[in-house]
Amino acid sequence: GDFVFEVQEGYIIKDGLVGEPVRGATLTGNGPQILKSMDMVASDLGFAIGTCGKDAQGVPVSDAMPTVRIPEIVVGGEVT
């Protein structure tokens, strides 16, 4: 299915170098298409904890994912 995610921390990457931060960025796309388009996966597996909820009810959750390159994804936001 389709998704829209808010980016908590993002940076412009130009010529392979991390540049200035961006704010208010969102990522939009289609899950299966994005998974098929990933063309690089790093070995820096990172873990995060958080809460998933609805109607003021939440449950603890965790996730893990390495850095990936998605060459074709719609990104919105502005450079700070």
pLDDT value, residue 46: 92
Evaluate if residue 79 carries a pLDDT over 80. no
The dihedral through the CA atoms of 28, 57, 66, 20 has a sign that is: positive
Total count of domains within the chain: 1
Domain of 39?
2-79
pLDDT in tens, 61-75: 999 999 899 988 888
pLDDT in tens, 12-63: 888 989 999 988 899 999 999 999 999 999 999 999 999 998 888 999 999 9
pLDDT value, residue 30: 94
Report yes or no on whether pTM surpasses 0.85.
no
User: In this structure, are residues 52 and 61 in contact, taking their beta carbons and an 8 Å threshold?
Assistant: yes
The Cα 41–Cα 67 span in angstroms is 6
